[in-house]
Structure 1
């Protein structure tokens, strides 16, 4: 049986596989990040003294499956986001480099990442909203408000209208700077590494190079842009009445100081660093496999 040539979709397939793999492996860390970011001290929420304490309390009441609340929209969102992101990013970057002269590869990378990230946010914001709300259904609540992803979307539309699915959209668009910083620095580091090795652009290099580049780029992007994640989580939380970016920002700073904008940053790096490495390593290796289908069809 002939294998169809899939090289036109190598970025889409690689990103899709990377998003699914990283989410399945790292979702419990994501759940903890969301809960710590949302916790403004409300006594109605369970109060955790540490990440280990949170894991113990969740497992004691709901079992290990409690650590995987919200995994369905998370898998769908990650697969769609990373698949489209890599496909559109590489297409747009090539177009910008062909048609315009920005004077800097890093600038081209950043512009491409920002534009593509904003476009994808228009598609995926409802998915991320449901993930956040499902993750914030606590073990100390007598009954769960949502039974799953579809039920969460249905209730959100019924109670808040269609645009309720786009709560946190503005911060999400602002947050595309996260992906732009990450992909720009990742691409730049790989380009410089290939240049140092005397290899053509887009040629495959060692797994260690991919690992180092993904780790550094993710840590940089997460730490620099983390406040948007806190604000977005709080705006999407169904347990509070947060409204608007400015109001949520002021409330956070007044009650918790500027450090409140980085609440959950440690667990975010713990969670997102291995997830980023898994995403990019999976993406690069799946892309390599897809290229093997060239001229096979």
Structure 2
């Protein structure tokens, strides 16, 4: 084969070495993006009210008044649902749903695409190669960082809209009141700059460990299960098996890494100001105690566990359909 034939075939460059970027791009499969977006959107639409309640619990400092804002007080999850529905109607349970759906759908889509591209690159295209926990962690961490950079502004907007209490509209400064997702993006950028759209980014980076733990657990459980069944590690499982592994991996990851979500929500709250992450941590620990870092954990687990199961089942089934088509 001549040098020009080699180059045309896409095997090597003129120096006989495959460029790493080309190697990674060669393994990008758009069906992972489509499948992740579909699963993320479906689960978020179904379970957004629990996310709304979780965020309100996370920022609750044990006092009803913060600055000029009177935060509603809830005695529990059921009381929160009743109160929000009573004061804001059924649509009140879906405050912030647009950026949440867009954020979750794009996050899952990008994450699955980046993760599988990096993983397949490490396997050199052979899906039967067992990478082990170390390389799975590396792939998940890389995918998490890339996804966070692209989606952090949407999470800021979602948090702001979820913390917009209907009973306090008249007391909110115009620049802090948002009529919707686009208005929130515009006002945050106008009054707070690019940095405003990336509030909570640093604790979000700690949250990359959440995805890493979840995906490592998920991949290792699937691998060990297929090994136990004496099947190839890329063998397609049934929906019940995917649900079991997705639920277990999500519960483990969510419980271990939950405090970063509380810190991030507080930093993104438009009604409070902190000097930084250390200030948030210090004030939470000093005034509310250690368990305050787990405020909202129950509604979070009630939301993320079925959400993860729905996302992974939709994702895996779309990928299975794409394999059958090929």
- Work out which of the residue numbers 297, 305, 311 in structure 2 matches 1:273: 305
Query: Which residue does the alignment assign to 2:316?
Result: 284
Q: Which runs of 4+ in 1 moved over 6 A?
A: none
- How many aligned residue pairs are there? 285
**Kept in 1: contact 2:29–2:113 (CA 8 A):** no
1:138 Cα deviation after fit: 1.4
Query: Which residue does the alignment assign to 1:255?
Result: 287
Query: Which residue does the alignment assign to 1:113?
Result: 140
| CA RMSD of superposed structures (Å) | 1.6
Moved more, 79-88 or 134-143: 134-143
Query: Which residue does the alignment assign to 2:78?
Result: 52
- Work out which of the residue numbers 78, 86, 111 in structure 1 matches 2:104: 78
Question: How far apart, in 1, do the equivalents of 2:131 and 2:314 lie?
Answer: 28
- Work out which of the residue numbers 188, 192, 211 in structure 1 matches 2:220: 188
- Work out which of the residue numbers 33, 54, 59 in structure 2 matches 1:38: 59
Question: How far apart, in 2, do the equivalents of 1:153 and 1:10 lie?
Answer: 29
Unaligned segments of structure 1, at least 5 residues: 1-6
**Kept in 2: contact 1:175–1:228 (CA 8 A):** yes
Deviations 1:180-225 (A, max 9, x none): 1111100110111111122222221122211110010000000000
Query: Of the two, which has the highest radius of gyration?
Result: 2
**Kept in 2: contact 1:19–1:82 (CA 8 A):** yes
Deviations 1:73-112 (A, max 9, x none): 111111111111111101112323449xxx9611111111
- Work out which of the residue numbers 249, 254, 264 in structure 1 matches 2:296: 264
1:292 Cα deviation after fit: 2.9
Query: Which residue does the alignment assign to 2:20?
Result: none
Moved more, 192-201 or 261-270: 192-201
1:293 Cα deviation after fit: 2.6
Structure 1 residues 152 and 42 mapped into 2: Cα distance closer, same or farther (>3 Å)?
farther
Query: Which residue does the alignment assign to 1:3?
Result: none
- Work out which of the residue numbers 122, 133, 137 in structure 1 matches 2:149: 122
1:282 Cα deviation after fit: 0.7
Query: Which residue does the alignment assign to 2:201?
Result: 169
Residue 153 of structure 1 pairs with residue 181 of structure 2: no
Question: How far apart, in 1, do the equivalents of 2:45 and 2:225 lie?
Answer: 30
1:71 Cα deviation after fit: 0.6
SS of 1:140's equivalent in the other structure is: helix
Unaligned segments of structure 2, at least 5 residues: 1-27, 65-69
Instruction: State the TM-score, normalizing by the size of structure 2.
Output: 0.84
Instruction: State the TM-score, normalizing by the size of structure 1.
Output: 0.92
Structure of greater relative contact order (alpha carbons < 8 Å, 6+ residues apart):
1
Question: How far apart, in 2, do the equivalents of 1:157 and 1:10 lie?
Answer: 33
